[in-house]
Amino acid sequence: MDNTIETKITATSLLHQISGLSIDAALAELAARFPGKVTFSTSFSIEDQVIAHHILSAGLPVSIFTLDTGRLFAETYSVWSATNDKYGTHVQAYYPDRALLEAFVDQKGPNAFYASVADRKACCHIRKVEPLKRALQGQTIWVTGLRAEHSPERRDHQLIEWDEGNQLFKYNPILHWDTAQVRAYIDQHNVPYNPLHDKGFVSIGCAPCTRAIKAGEDFRAGRWWWEDNSKKECGLHAS
């Protein structure tokens, strides 16, 4: 039996294991099966704040980290601080490799991502993908705030799936939640969230690459708005 088939069977068995469980219970079950090897990546988006509340309010043994690209909004840092304060936690930060970033900026300039898709993806790789790989080393389950509603590409994701690039399983607990459900949960539990979400920002990333969306635009229109829609992923989440 090849590794691909084995992986699919294992992903199916994990899904069966948590089927019918609440998010808290599913996370607890996964953490019990893989102690010390379940981690959650947060960008402090409104989706990620839902999951952070589940983990932190229940005291679940799931580590939490964020990728600080060095180009985030001031509001994002405020949510980060408010989250640490509310839950008495310390979200671990991973930063870009200094040598890689310095060489890129020296060669291409600080705003090279506007010049071409290749340069933008190179910037994303240095600021996001490479630090992510370091953060995920030694982990078995990667918990994310992916939602299918965000883009056509993300509708291809599964609740639990094998991530070939990072060689672990990805658990997307609110994949099928809609925006109204997310908002209602945040309000009900008084969870800190980014005020940019109230100003038309749906998907919030680096400040130079994010804008509010206009009426009638899709969810990803505010990210890398100068590019064709088919290219709008940074490499963190590949189907």
Residue 9: how many other CB atoms lie within 10 Å: 11
Report d(CA 150, CA 205) in Å as an integer. Answer: 14
Cα angle 136, 140, 141; round to 5: 85
Concerning whether 234 is annotated as a catalytic residue, the answer is yes
The residues, ordered by sequence, that sit 6+ positions from 19 with a Cβ below 8 Å of its Cβ are: none
Report how far apart, in Å, the C-alpha atoms of 48 and of each of 125, 153, 166, 173 are: 21, 19, 20, 10
Helix (H, G, I), strand (E, B) or coil at 43: coil
Burial (CB < 10 A; 0-12, 13-18, 19+), residue 74, is exposed
Torsions phi, psi of 195, nearest 5? -65, -15
Sheet with 141-143, side-by-side order of all strands? 92-94, 63-67, 38-41, 141-143, 168-171, 160-163
> Per the residue annotation, which of 123, 124, 206, 234 is the catalytic one?
234
Q: Which residues are catalytic?
A: 234
